[in-house]
Amino acid sequence: MPKRTALHDEHVRLGGRMVDFGGWDLPVQYTGIIDEHLACRGAAGLFDVSHMGEFLVEGADAEAFLDYAVTNQVSKTVPGQAQYTAMCNRAGGIVDDLVLYRRGKDRFLVVVNAANIDKDFSHLDGLLQAERSRFPGVKLENQSTAYSQIAIQGPKAELILQKLTSTKLSEIKTYRFAEGSVCGSIPALLARTGYTGEDGFEVYCPWSDGPTVWRALLDAGTPSGLKPCGLGARDTLRLEMKYPLYGHELTDETNPIEAGLGWVTKLDKGDFVGKEKIEALKMAGIRRKLVGLELTERGIPRQGYRVMSLDGHTELGVLTSGTQSPSLKKAIGIAYVSNGHAEAETEVAVEIRGTLVRAKIIPTPFLKKKS
């Protein structure tokens, strides 16, 4: 029996089509993926992301421990700041990508992918056990069922969320957050983060308060065009931005350099798990690169399809994600493509059900933001 978020009944009441997603019963859509996608780009979208995992990492050595566990430089963050990072194994493979929220000098909330909660916790706990003498003052706790997480994303997100809180949202910059309250007295972490490419917020509140916050946001936002969005729209929205998704672009076997996460991999900081291997990979030069492509003939690229040379003789790579982009009305995909064929404007083919369909490597994000 799949797990349920606190918002399960809300989804059913709204006509959400429930599917099993990594062991969670969640809506893939309510009215339709395209409709929800465009609502988020044009006004606002409301997402239940309570299935994501939250770990507490605190104590005098919390910062040092996280700097050892993840690829980005945690010591550069200040309280009230969020940071996107990868977490690698000793072979340099990606255990997960995650966002950490620095709530104080010695206190972090680490937010991980739902399907990786158990794996990530064991990984971190294992590191802590092995290196206890280096990081004696660290408490690690899985608090995933303590939080409901609701994302409100889109150009109207701030306007709508502001109706529910006295925290001045305009003062929260991108990848910053504030601790305040919503709907009167519900404590909430209000973060200007997200996974859609739109401005917006992720609201963390106590698990059981999720439905109250969800309903209040729906009521406050519906007149502005806000719509509840399912996992389907979440996927197409992130895909248009070429944001990686664990299990697609990122796996235990992919490294952060080829995955395009070099910008969050700080090889000039101190020792961290996987650093040696990643350094070696970088020195040797990576063999393949994560790129965006667009089909120039009819078809839709999907995960697992092969990227071929135009003549079909040489396999150049493999698709990790693909869809028909609702905003661009084009068939787009993300693929690992071998070096030498990964430059923008390179013409390639995608093998779809045995047929070669022409495609072109293009610069990403696919969707260019109007400023």
Partner 1 sequence: MRFPKEFKYTEDHEWAKIEGNRVTVGVTDHAQSALGDVVFLELPKVGRQLRRGETFGVVESVKAVSDLFSPVDGKVIEVHSALVDDPSTINRSPHGDGWLIAIEVSGPEACAHLIDASAYEKLIASL
Site residues (CB under 8 A) for partner 1? 17, 28-29, 32-35, 232, 235-236, 298-300, 302, 323-324, 326, 331, 353
User: Minimal distance in Å, beta carbon 205 to partner 1?
Assistant: 29
Question: Of 89 and 324, which has the nearer Cβ to partner 1?
Answer: 324
Q: Of 43 and 237, which has the nearer Cβ to partner 1?
A: 237
Nearer to partner 1, 221 or 232 (CB): 232
HEC-encoded secondary structure of the chain: CCECCCCHHHHHHCCCEEEEECCEEEEEECCCHHHHHHHHHHCEEEEECCCCEEEEEECCCHHHHHHHHECCCHHHCCCCEEEEEEEECCCCCEEEEEEEEEEECCEEEEEECHHHHHHHHHHHHHHHHHCCCCCCCCEEEECCCCEEEEEEECCCHHHHHHCCCCCCHHHCCCCEEEEEEECCCEEEEEECCCCCCCCEEEEEEEHHHHHHHHHHHHHHHHHHCEEECCHHHHHHHHHHCCCCCECCCECCCCCCCCCCCHHHCCCCCCCCCCHHHHHHHHHHCCCEEEEEEEECCCCCCCCCCEEECCCCCCEEEEEEEEEECCCCCCEEEEEEEECCCCCCCCEEEEEECCEEEEEEEECCCCCCCCC
Q: Quote the least distance from Cβ 34 to partner 1, whole Å.
A: 5
Shortest reach from residue 137's CB to partner 1, in Å? 46
Name the minimum Å distance from CB 298 to partner 1.
Answer: 7
Least distance in Å: CB of 350 to partner 1?
Answer: 13
Q: Which is nearer to partner 1, 300 or 310 (CB)?
A: 300
Which CB, 176 or 302, lies closer to partner 1? 302
The residue among 30 and 108 lying less far from partner 1, judged by its C-beta, is: 30
Q: What is the smallest separation between the CB atom of 232 and partner 1, expressed in angstroms?
A: 5
Cβ-based nearer residue to partner 1, 109 or 331? 331
Q: How far is the CB of 44 from partner 1 (least distance, A)?
A: 20
- Cβ neighbours of residue 118 closer than 8 Å, sequence gap 6 or more: none
